[in-house]
Amino acid sequence: MRNKKLAASLTAVAGVLAVGLTACSSSKSSGSAAAGAAPAAAASSGAAGAVDSITVAASPVPHAQILDYVRDNLAAKAGLKLTVKEFTDYVQPNLATQDGQVGANFFQHQPYLDDFNKSKGTDLVPVVGVHLEPLGLYSNKAKSVDQLKDGATVAVPNDATNEGRALKLLADNHLITLKDGVGAKATEKDVASNPKNLKFQPLEAAQLPRALSDVDAAVINGNYALEAKLTPSKDALVLEKTQDNPYVNILVVKKGHENDPAVKKLAALLTSEDVKKYIETTFNGSVIPAAAG
């Protein structure tokens, strides 16, 4: 009886030790997912030739598509293991980057990031500009801006951000002038001169391609132009330029991780000649590499 009790005691002790060892092992293997862990931009040991890893949150098109190209064609040679996690909204990618679920995100431009940081109390920062999805001026009735008639009706997006972009595009191409300093925040009240007496018709951005037959011209976002089977590089009378454009889409990380090895490798690849050529040949002018100016 005594021997049986002793055996039972030893078995129980062994079980406790086994559970303890298993718990320790699980904690180490899932360390990056633990609360307060560093972002998943994970690193190498610093040894020469080591592979750095990063998970990036991205919108499906064109962001994830560009990242997929980098992952499948460029990352391995650069010593980078890249995982792409797709999101269909504009909030979760930033929250996931802030709390370390991912090491970076790629879906937004600087004005959106600034507003998000201000409203959500996050401390996310840009690393590098990659591409622009340009607004363009389109028309079924004119083949150049010079052919727009006096009193022509121009449809523009009715949301504050894109209306300002649209008016700035018209100003940059000498169709109107804007009050000093308003830039892309302009509204119709900020139009200082209007030589052609253009009439503006604000519409929901998604409706603009369908309005082309009813107006003289329309300023349309790149993604909606693409969905409408327009080719911005061929069909637009004028397009936004990337130089000094605040709407360039950017790679974003949590502050303090800008110089992580994986982040630096990814930033270099996203701005490489290979990626620029991929963007130019794949998206037919609907997406413009940031360096294209």
Assigned domain for 280 exists: yes
- Assess whether 233 and 254 both reside in one domain: no
CATH number at residue 281: 3.40.190.10
222, 239, 256: which is the final residue of a domain? 239
How far out from the chain centre does Cα 203 lie? 24
- Residue 280 and residue 226 in one domain: no
Q: What is the mean pLDDT of residues 179-195?
A: 92
pLDDT tens digits, 108-161: 889 889 989 999 999 999 999 999 988 999 999 999 999 999 999 999 998 877
Specify if 17 maps to a domain.
no
> Which residue, 223, 239, 255, sits at the end of a domain?
239
Residue 106 lies in domain: 52-134+246-292
DSSP 3-state of 238: strand
Q: pLDDT confidence of 292, banded at 50, 70, 90?
A: low
For position 18, what pLDDT does the model report?
Answer: 39
201 and 81 in one domain?
A: no
Query: Is 1 inside a domain boundary?
Result: no
Do residue 199 and residue 223 come from a single domain? yes
Whether the pLDDT of residue 16 is over 60: the answer is no
Instruction: Please indicate, yes or no, whether residues 232 and 250 belong to a single structural domain of this protein.
Output: no
Q: Is residue 47 part of a domain?
A: no
Q: Give the model confidence (pLDDT) of 33-89 as tens digits.
A: 333 445 665 444 445 578 999 999 998 888 999 999 999 999 999 999 999 999 988
- Residues near 11 by Cβ (< 8 Å), separated by ≥ 6? none
Q: Average pLDDT, stretch 263-288?
A: 94
Q: Which two tokens stand for residue 59?
A: 């919108």
- Please tell me which residue, 163 or 43, carries the higher pLDDT value: 163
The pTM of this model reads 0.66
CA dist 179 and 171 (Å) reads 10
Are 56 and 192 in the same domain?
A: no
Give the contacts of 262 (CB within 8 A, at least 6 positions apart).
Answer: 41, 42, 43, 52, 53, 54, 80, 103
Q: How many domains does the chain have?
A: 2
